[in-house]
Amino acid sequence: MILILLSLTIDFSGSIYTFKEYPIGGEKYIMVDALVKKMHLSFHYDNDKGVMTLQKERLITLIPDNPFIRIEKDIHQLVVPPLRLGGKPMLPISSLDLILSSLLNKKAVFKNGILEIETSINLYGIKWTTEPSLTRCSIECSPTLKHFFSKNNGEWVLTLFNPIYNKEILNTTARGLINHIEIEEGDGFLKIRFKTKDDLPMDMIRKKKLLNIEVRKFEKRKIKTIVVDAGHGGKDPGATHRGIKEKVLVLEVAKKLASRLTEDGFNVIMTRTKDEFIPLKERTRIADETHADLFVSIHCNAAPNKKSMHGAETYFLSAAKSNWARTVEATENAAVRFESENSADIPDLDYILNDLAQTQFLEESQQAAIYIQESMIHRCNLYNRGVKQANFYVLRLNYMPAVLVEIAFITNVKDRKYLRDGKFLEKAANAIAEGIEQYAKEHL
């Protein structure tokens, strides 16, 4: 009599491992202990809850006799459940490709009865978020995966270069505001083509391991919630001249503005209420997550080499149209240098194409800027420098009308005298509030 011991072979990047197979109920299993030891996995079993976890690059949670497993936050169903045999946890061989590819972030496939774990995966999965006014396709991938996003002949195309993935993650089911998806697989690239309902604009926002493809439907809405942003703060003083710091002045104006708007019945959210540093992206996040209806950023101007420059000006987001607008843009955007410790890995790509979303609100942002500017000039006796366009970081990624107000020039003698006067700061806050109120009346 010859006893044949069945075994599973795993080829892990050229290293061969064998595991004894255990036939149970018509299925084949291997012992978790052997897999953990040979593949250098972390393993924990909670006797009280009956839950076991496996971890390497990712965390997997399993429950014996339950076919549903959790990979990070996602739930997957196995063909057959994991088991415990004589107190020993067992994994079904039929699902080892899914389990190991998820644990190792590497491509795992069965070929001729051998489980081959190949080159590292750099495209992990696709998740969806659908709301009445938002559809988001989140593509989880390696931060180093190269990509290109563009619009071509009425469709939006995301091209991923040299992606490595399991084809099972590709899904062409259209959802929400996206009514058509088409996949094109080529040698060294993967193209995902999207078409949106009513030809809505689409944005791509990269956040570390996520490429977020977003479509938003914007509707005219009442102005109820307003974010008041006091520029600079903390380690970022803003413009300074003869002992005056922009961060101090704008916080005082912002507080007075918030108080006035609250009295008028608006819901007001301030990005900062004290002398602290708030990264530019955090300011826009606050506005976006609170679903604000208007974003107003308060600043003071400066022109050290042109001290005769004076007056007030108000900006909305768009490409800078003049040399001076580009100068102000560069000055305010320079605050990014203070974020380097926490944001060194945030590429400009996070911002570039996202300006498309703001085009939905260019007209409204411009109108709000006009009302605020006119009110500032009328009430504060300031020289009218007009409404201008510039590409400020703090106005990007805000899915709402957004403006930036430069109250006066710290570097000008006359304006500086105004800025030292608490009554003037009160007047400036009231002027901005009246401009906002006039703008809000159009949305009743």
Per-residue pLDDT tens listing for the chain (444 residues): 333 458 899 988 778 899 999 999 889 999 999 999 998 899 998 888 889 999 988 899 999 999 999 998 889 999 999 999 888 999 999 999 999 988 888 888 888 888 888 767 788 889 999 988 889 999 998 888 899 988 888 899 999 999 988 888 888 888 999 999 999 999 999 999 999 998 888 888 888 788 989 888 766 668 999 999 999 899 999 989 888 999 999 999 999 999 999 999 999 999 999 999 998 778 888 888 888 899 999 999 998 888 899 999 998 865 434 454 455 545 555 554 555 444 433 333 333 333 333 455 777 888 999 999 999 999 998 999 998 876 665 455 556 888 889 999 999 999 999 999 999 999 999 999 999 999 998 876
pLDDT at 357: 39
Residues of the chain with CATH 3.30.457.10: 7-120
Determine if the pTM surpasses 0.75: no
pLDDT for res 396: 55
Per-residue model confidence (pLDDT) at position 198: 87
Q: Check: CB of residue 10 under 8 Å from CB of residue 54.
A: no
CB 376 within 8 Å of CB 432: yes
CB atoms within 10 A of CB 367: 18
For tokens 């001249």, what's the residue?
241
Q: Class assignment of domain 225-441?
A: alpha beta
Distance from first CA to last CA of the chain, Å, rounded?
90
Three-state SS across 108-156? EEEECCEEEEEEECCEEEEEEEEECCEEEEEEEECCCCCEEEEEECCEE
Q: What's residue 194's pLDDT?
A: 94
Report the distance separating Cα 392 and Cα 232, nearest Å: 13
Strands 114-120 and 7-12: parallel
Do 421 and 312 form a contact (C-beta atoms < 8 A)? Answer: no
Identify the DSSP state of 368: H
Q: What homologous superfamily does CATH list for 7-120? A: Copper amine oxidase-like, N-terminal domain (3.30.457.10)
Cα 230 to Cα 254: distance, rounded to the nearest angstrom: 6
> What does the pLDDT read at residue 356?
35
Which residues of the chain form CATH 2.60.40.3500?
123-216
d(CA 125, CA 145): 13
Instruction: Centre a 10 Å sphere on the Cβ of residue 432 and count the other Cβ atoms it contains.
Output: 31
CATH no., domain 123-216: 2.60.40.3500
Task: Kindly give, in sequence order, each residue whose CB lies less than 8 Å from that of residue 103, ignoring residues fewer than 6 positions away.
Answer: 39, 41, 54, 55, 56, 57, 58, 60
Distance (Å, rounded) from C-alpha 344 to C-alpha 253? 31
Tell me, what's the pLDDT at 351? Answer: 36
Written as one letter, the residue type at 220 is K
Tokens of 360: 């939905």
Distance CA 88, CA 91 (A): 10
The owner of tokens 């400020």 is 392
Query: In which residue ranges of the chain is CATH 3.40.630.40 found?
Result: 225-441
Q: How far apart are CA 330 and CA 227, in angstroms?
A: 23
Answer whether 195's CB lies under 8 Å from 179's CB.
yes
Distance of CA 419 to the CA centre of its chain: 36
Confidence (pLDDT) at 192: 94
Q: In the prediction, which pLDDT does 432 show?
A: 97
